Amino acid sequence: MQEFSCEICGNSKFFVDSGRYICCTCGKEYAAEAADRLKDENRADRLAPEELAHLTELARQARDEGNIADSAKYYEQLVKQGPTSWESFFFSVYFKQIGCRVSQTEHAANTIKYAVDTTVALIDNLPDEEKADAYKTVAEYVQTAADTFKNAAYAHYRSHLKDGGIEYEYSTRAAACSDLIIQCGLLLNNTEAGKEAAAMLTDHDPKESASASHLSAKGWWYAVIMLVVIAIIVLTTSFFSSLG
């Protein structure tokens, strides 16, 4: 195990080729001198076990409270401690992206999607009894991210209906969210312990739901109008029949 983490993805697994350290996850290359510098920095910043436990507790507390800024901060600090756990890696990426602007939702969804691949690989190193819960946690947060991004994109779409190109913008953002769900589902379903978690994922499109609701409302009003028309016809017929 190497004594430093990749500056790009936080991974701590490298292979060495001609004196260069190459990240097994993202392919970032480090010369021997750069690797030595990072090792020295990481040793200097290494926390004591009790400090690491406290930082983990703070990260989980912030996550449970929905505090995006603190979660991102604490999990990023945990990633730098190495060796990288699935939890610190996934949530360091997740909380950097979840609070993004609407214009960044496509990029954010794709970034989380790429992170899921590494996360699943890290979970695969866990004891068997811990894997299922870890996969479920990933599925829950991926679902939240996809729904959050897609709902924000739809709200933006609805508020700019008169703007040119807004339909295309929504489509590309929604497609990225759907792709996140699909890719996560495929990765989880390829593991025995992740099949139940994969079944939890659903692809919800607020635009289609709104259209269905609109059609349902139109159908209800149509039924009311038809009943009124029928009632008028019956009363009119009865009236003229009484005159005869």
Q: For residue range 44-88, what is the model confidence (pLDDT) as tens digits?
A: 457 788 888 999 999 999 999 999 999 999 998 888 776 678 999
Reported confidence tier of residue 93, pLDDT bands at 50, 70, 90: very high
**Residue 187 CB neighbour total at 10 angstroms:** 20
More confident residue, 137 or 16: 137
pLDDT at 225 over 70: no
CB 66 within 8 A of CB 103: no
Q: DSSP letters along 3-24, please?
A: SS--TTT----EEEETTEEEET
Q: What is the pLDDT of residue 45?
A: 59
CA R_g for the chain: 27
More confident residue, 10 or 86: 86
**Structure token digits, residue 164:** 């040119």
19-23, 144-148, 192-196 — which is least confidently predicted?
A: 19-23
At residue 23, φ and ψ (nearest 5 deg) are -65, 130
Percentage, residues of the chain above pLDDT 90: 50
Mean pLDDT (the chain, rounded)? 82
Q: How far apart are CA 188 and CA 205, in angstroms?
A: 22
Reported confidence tier of residue 212, pLDDT bands at 50, 70, 90: very low
Q: What is the pLDDT of residue 44?
A: 46
Percentage, residues of the chain above pLDDT 70: 76
pLDDT in tens, 98-135: 999 999 999 999 999 999 999 999 999 899 999 999 99
At residue 21, φ and ψ (nearest 5 deg) are -100, 120
Q: What angle do CA 229, 233, 239 make, to 5 degrees?
A: 145
pLDDT at 20 over 90: no
Q: Give the bridge partners for 22, in sequence order.
A: 15, 29
**Structure token digits, residue 195:** 């099949």
59-63, 166-170, 213-217, 230-234 — which is least confidently predicted?
A: 213-217
Q: How far apart are CA 74 and CA 56, in angstroms?
A: 8
- Pairing verdict, β 14-17 and 20-23: antiparallel
Q: What is the pLDDT of residue 48?
A: 81
Reported confidence tier of residue 146, pLDDT bands at 50, 70, 90: very high
pLDDT at 219 over 60: no
DSSP type of residue 165: T
Q: How far apart are CA 103 and CA 51, in angstroms?
A: 38
